[in-house]
Amino acid sequence: MNSKGNIIFYYPTNVINLENHSFKSRVNLRFKLSVHNKQIFIMKKILFTLLIITALIISCKTAKKAAPVTEAAPVEQIEDKVSEPVKEAVPEDNNPIYMKTEEVSIAEDEDQTREGFAFYVIIGSFSKPENAGRFKAQLIGKDFYPVLLNSESGYIRVAVDQTNSEMEARDQIKIIRNKYPEHKDVWLLKKK
Where are the chain's structural domains? 8-81, 99-191
Query: What is the pLDDT, as a whole number, of residue 174?
Result: 92
pLDDT in tens, 8-55: 555 555 555 555 556 556 666 566 666 667 788 888 889 889 888 888
User: CA-CA distance, 160 to 55, in Å (whole number)?
Assistant: 55
What's the N-to-C CA distance of the chain in angstroms?
114
* Apex 171 CA angle, 134 and 117, nearest 5: 65
Asked if 91 and 163 count as a contact pair (C-beta separation under 8 A), the reply is no
Reported as a single tens digit per residue, the pLDDT across 162-176 is: 999 999 999 999 999
- Give the pLDDT band of residue 92 (cuts 50, 70, 90): confident
Q: Whole-prediction pTM value?
A: 0.53
| 22 or 183, higher pLDDT | 183
